[in-house]
Amino acid sequence: MKFINYLKDIHNVQIYPMITLLLFVTIFILATILVFSKSKKTIQEIKQLPLED
């Protein structure tokens, strides 16, 4: 029961792990960019939200 037995029937299977890896890396990079592109002021503002009653 090797990996290949289960996957050889899927058309162009080699592309799947590549897509997954790329998606993960993309999401991770996007999240990081999104986070660091926010101004310090905005971050401070959001941080205070739970404390503003």
Partner 1 sequence: MSLEKNQPSATTESSTLSHSANPGIQLETFYYDNKTVKLFAYATLFWGLVGMTAGLWAAFSIAYPQVNLGWAPTTFGRMRPVHTNAVIFAFVGNAIFCGVYYSLQRLCKARMWSDRLSKIHFWGWQALILLGAITLWAGFTQGKEYAELEWPLDIALTLLWVVFGANMLGTILKRRVQHLYVAIWFYIGTWVAVAMLHIVNSIAIPTSFLNSYSWYAGVQDALVQWWYGHNAVAFFLTTPFLGLMYYFVPKAANRPIYSYRWSIIHFWSLIFIYIWAGPHHLLYTALPEWAQGLGTVFSIMLIAPSWGGMLNGLLTLRGAWDRVREDATLKFMVVALTCYGMATFEGPMLSLKSVNAISHYTDWTIAHVHVGALGWNGFLAFAMLYWMMPKIFNTKLYSKKWANTHFWLGTLGIIFYVIPLYTAALTQSLMWKKFTPEGILQYQFMETVTTIQPMYVLRGIGGLLYISGLILMIVNLVKTVRSGKLVANEESQAAPLPKNYESHGKKEHWHRWIERRPVQLTVLSLIAVGIGGIAEMVPTFLVKSNIPTISSVKPYTPLELHGRNIYIREGCYTCHSQMIRPFRDEVARYGEYSKAGEFVYDHPFQWGSKRTGPDLARIGGKYPDSWHYNHMLDPTSMTSGSLMPSYPWLFTDRIDKTKTYSMIKAMKKLGVPYPAGYENEANKDIDKQAEKIKQSLAKDKIKVSKNDEIVALIAYLQRMGTDIKNEKKEGSALK
User: Is 21 a binder of partner 1 (CB under 8 A)?
Assistant: no
Among 11, 36, 39, 41, binds partner 1 (CB under 8 A): 36
Size of the site for partner 1 (CB under 8 A): 31
Exposed / middle / buried, residue 15 (Cβ in 10 Å: 0-12, 13-18, 19+)? exposed
Q: How far apart are CA 44 and CA 7, in angstroms?
A: 49
User: Is 7 a binder of partner 1 (CB under 8 A)?
Assistant: yes
User: Is 29 a binder of partner 1 (CB under 8 A)?
Assistant: no
Among 12, 34, 39, 41, binds partner 1 (CB under 8 A): 34
Tokens 């404390």 correspond to: 51
Q: Which two tokens stand for residue 39?
A: 């101004």
